[in-house]
Amino acid sequence: MNDPLVAAALSARTNAHAPYSRFAVGAAVEDETGRIFAGCNIENASYGLTVCAERVAVWKAMSEGSRRFRRVAVAADTVVLTPPCGACRQILWEFCGDVEIVLANLEGASETLRLGQLLPRPFDAHLL
């Protein structure tokens, strides 16, 4: 696949710190201007302080001033393509809305869907 967003997620995956789960994940988010921000999962012995790749990528983009996003890619070394976990779906909805999500693996397989398909009834500010 020649998608720069997926390539960034795959590359970020190589920097994952996953000594406990051994489950390295890379993610990348593309803002409305086309800038790409990548992140990897970073584990901690307490597990609860572990941060997923998707959240690292979003925080990185936001810390650089991006606020509007159009796509997210998630890459893992799995046969079945790995979607964002529940916590990441919530964060992605809050900060990215119903963006395009590209799931990819190391074999070159990919699937594209909308975040709304993964999180059909999101909790967000309109419910407060």
Q: What is the pLDDT of residue 82?
A: 96
Terminal Cα distance for the chain, rounded: 41
> Which pLDDT band holds residue 13 (cuts at 50, 70, 90)?
very high
pLDDT, tens digit (0-9, with 9 covering 90-100), for 48-106: 999 999 999 999 999 999 999 999 999 999 999 999 999 999 999 999 999 999 999 99
Domain-by-domain residue ranges, the chain? Answer: 4-122
- CATH number, domain 4-122, options 1.20.1050.10, 3.30.200.20, 3.40.50.1980, 3.40.140.10: 3.40.140.10
Q: What is the pTM of this model?
A: 0.94
Q: What is the pLDDT of residue 1?
A: 61
Catalytic residues: 54
Query: Do β-strands 110-114 and 25-31 pair in parallel, antiparallel, or remain unpaired?
Result: unpaired
